[in-house]
Copies of this chain bind each other. A is one copy, B any other.
Amino acid sequence: MPKPLRADAARNRDKLLDAATRVFGERGLDAPLEEIARRAGVSIGTLYNHFPTREALIDAIFPARVAVLERIGAQALADDDAWRGFTRFVEGVFALQAEDFGLNDALSGRFSTAAGLAEACRGGLEIARRLIARAKDSGQLRADFEERDFITLIWAMSKVIRESADEAPLAWRRCLAFFLDGLRAEAARPIPS
């Protein structure tokens, strides 16, 4: 339906998406749009011509990246061992976040105004829900761990990832290991009110 772009416009659009992916990846979703335009070798006006809002740009990039998570989740669901599937999924998600500050922001809910991104996140959460249920059913994941706790975990780890990126880029793995040990059914103690 949308009429085809002129050749140069299509080229510029690609350059913009490319630059945006890099800049968002390095600096997060609130990186200055002017830097994206600069890196794309294009004027700020052209950026706005293609993507009238920051959300539009985000929506053009991140749903596909989030979809990668769904693939990881699908593989995890195929794992014989429900616990191993769950942990591999979680580790996979954070490993991706560690390489891409934009994805990090995207998953931790900043810019949830970007409709396509929000939709993709819902898809990812759906898979997470299934992995959680399966790991609980197998008796390996503690019974009181819920979907909302998964979201909380994403918040927690996203900060750790960002904060330690320069100094100790593997710190998040240690932190996650501790956390996962607390999620095993046999480690569970009642949550104090």
Contact = CB atoms under 8 A, between A and B. Distances in A.
Given A155-B160, A160-B152, A178 B177 contact: no
Interface in A142-193: 142, 145, 148-149, 152-153, 155-160, 163-164, 168, 171-175, 177-184, 186-189, 191-192
A109 B164 CA distance: 11
Interface in A18-41: none
A108 interface: yes
Most buried by B among A153, A156, A179, A182: A156
A81 to B, nearest CB: 15
A173 B149 CA distance: 11
Contacts of A180: 182
B160 A175 contact: no
B148 A155 contact: no
Interface of A: 108-109, 142, 145, 148-149, 152-153, 155-160, 163-164, 168, 171-175, 177-184, 186-189, 191-192
